[in-house]
Structure 1
């Protein structure tokens, strides 16, 4: 328990006082899109082109569960059911490990695993010690991730990622992250643009306790939700955290 505790407290809520629009009280349980790339776009927008073998392209292929309720690792419902737009069909595990930065690492590792790029699966802890994966069995992969989730968190992941100097260059797979305790991380899942050049993006997160990875609603623009407009001059308000543009990172 002492191994996990330093990271367990790293995803404390930072936006509990953000009031969600009345429309976010939607009690609909099921969602019909089958993958991220099928999430409906606002009128006038089209998805940007990304190579099918890229991280950005892979993120679009992730399945979406019909049941859009967020469950915790122990099978209980998350208390706050107003933050998510829909839920990704990604394993959560049976332990309280896959929280915020862990979800980002899970998606990155899963992408590399699915493409058999095993030698590239590597994460570092706060002391710089690297945890590398080089075996190809599914069981060893899950065991590896549990170790990573136990020793690595927002602080170490923030150090490992590269700073994105130009927020306008944001793309799927990039991360908004605040390392430390409290800290949090969300990942860009998809992007689209319109004829005027306005770009929008989707965000996904896990939180604490460990829970289903979910696509976030936009708490300040319900007409655009779940999409966020790309604007490097303003704060990024998510349902449970506020990020600054200079907190964007890339792999």
Structure 2
């Protein structure tokens, strides 16, 4: 092959250098574009909690969920512009919003140890579910109210009706009486001495869980207007099948008066009580607005605005 002239060799080298420069410039330009796309929002530290410098969904999640919080009031923060409502010291409302939570990221477990497959919750209440398929939806509401009353030694207020109308009083159970069920016939029998221990209390609850449900609960609770919603109120559909979820916290916008609330539930089969997500929001915001319209949509059930109930005194 004939040798290239010096001039031709210089021309080829120049073309190669130009091509390399253009290629690097184009690649660098594309690299810069990719960097801009995947760059995460910068977070600023404020009071030990990361707060967003923009309104990205992930940053919003980090601003509402404090993974180190050990109770509802510590774990779940209120959205900007809202304040938690004041509640009386020692009240059922104060008890609920201070319920202990399992560590952030804990999965809901069924009574048999299996994990709940549906990711419908933001937190799990640190309370045993038992080893039998008993503590379902209505039972979780009964459990929380009973635990509060037992803790405050208000034993005479711990009573619930079975679906057949039989009234099961814990005070009578404490005195050593037990409930005998034979078909539709239900009655007390004396079998033991006085016992007000927590173990005795849990056995009483298991008996109630076995024979009470959403229907009996709706018949002994009083209906209240949605506009008067308070912590401790229950969204309840009393039927077969039925369902219920309890309000465990409430906040309000002082300027607009709008209330928002958190819901907790158990479900079937018996499972850990958990704080529900709101399917209308991102997973980061579990708060529900009282202005939901005619239908309240929760992850596993829908309620109407007139299905709000409250325990009486």
Q: State the TM-score bracket (shorter-chain normalisation).
A: 0.7 to 0.9
**Aligned pair partner of 1:149 in 193, 204, 209:** 209
Q: Which residue of 1 aligns with 2:81?
A: 44
In the alignment, structure 1 segments of 5+ residues that lack a partner are 1-21
Q: How does 1:216-231 map to 2 (within 5 A)?
A: 216-222=276-282, 225-231=285-291
- Partners of 1:101 and 1:185 within 8 A in 2: yes
Q: Which residue of 1 aligns with 2:248?
A: 189
Corresponding residue SS for 1:59: helix
Answer with 1 or 2: which has the greater Rg: 2
**1:234 and 2:234 equivalent?**
no
- Partners of 1:31 and 1:65 within 8 A in 2: no
Q: Which residue of 1 aligns with 2:13?
A: none
**Aligned pair partner of 2:144 in 107, 116, 119:** 107
Q: How does 1:193-208 map to 2 (within 5 A)?
A: 193-195=252-254, 196-208=256-268
How far the C-alpha of 1:232 sits from its partner, in A, is 6.4
Which one scores higher on RCO, CA 8 angstroms, separation ≥ 6?
A: 1
**Aligned pair partner of 1:71 in 100, 109, 117:** 109
Cα RMSD after superposing both structures: 1.8
**1:32 and 2:76 equivalent?**
no
**Aligned pair partner of 2:200 in 119, 136, 140:** 140
- In the alignment, the residues of structure 1 paired with residue 68 and residue 234 of structure 2 have an alpha-carbon distance, to the nearest angstrom, of 27
- In the alignment, the residues of structure 2 paired with residue 44 and residue 109 of structure 1 have an alpha-carbon distance, to the nearest angstrom, of 34
In the alignment, structure 2 segments of 5+ residues that lack a partner are 1-56, 175-195
Corresponding residue SS for 2:140: helix
- Partners of 1:31 and 1:68 within 8 A in 2: no
- Partners of 1:56 and 1:172 within 8 A in 2: yes
- In the alignment, the residues of structure 2 paired with residue 130 and residue 62 of structure 1 have an alpha-carbon distance, to the nearest angstrom, of 28
How far the C-alpha of 1:61 sits from its partner, in A, is 1.5
Q: Which residue of 1 aligns with 2:39?
A: none
How far the C-alpha of 1:234 sits from its partner, in A, is 2.7
- Partners of 2:249 and 2:261 within 8 A in 1: yes
| Shift in alpha-carbon separation, 1:197–1:224, aligned structure 2, 3 A | farther
- In the alignment, the residues of structure 2 paired with residue 232 and residue 128 of structure 1 have an alpha-carbon distance, to the nearest angstrom, of 34
- In the alignment, the residues of structure 2 paired with residue 229 and residue 73 of structure 1 have an alpha-carbon distance, to the nearest angstrom, of 32
Superposition misfits of 4+ residues, deviation over 3 angstroms: none
How far the C-alpha of 1:227 sits from its partner, in A, is 0.4
Q: How many residues are aligned here?
A: 223
How far the C-alpha of 1:108 sits from its partner, in A, is 0.5
Q: Which residue of 2 aligns with 1:55?
A: 92
1:178-216 CA distance string (max 9 Å, x none):
111111010000000123211100000000110000000
| Structure number having the greater helix percentage | 2
**1:172 and 2:231 equivalent?**
yes
Q: Which residue of 1 aligns with 2:10?
A: none
Corresponding residue SS for 2:306: helix
Q: Which residue of 2 aligns with 1:122?
A: 159
- In the alignment, the residues of structure 2 paired with residue 131 and residue 102 of structure 1 have an alpha-carbon distance, to the nearest angstrom, of 14
How far the C-alpha of 1:60 sits from its partner, in A, is 1.4
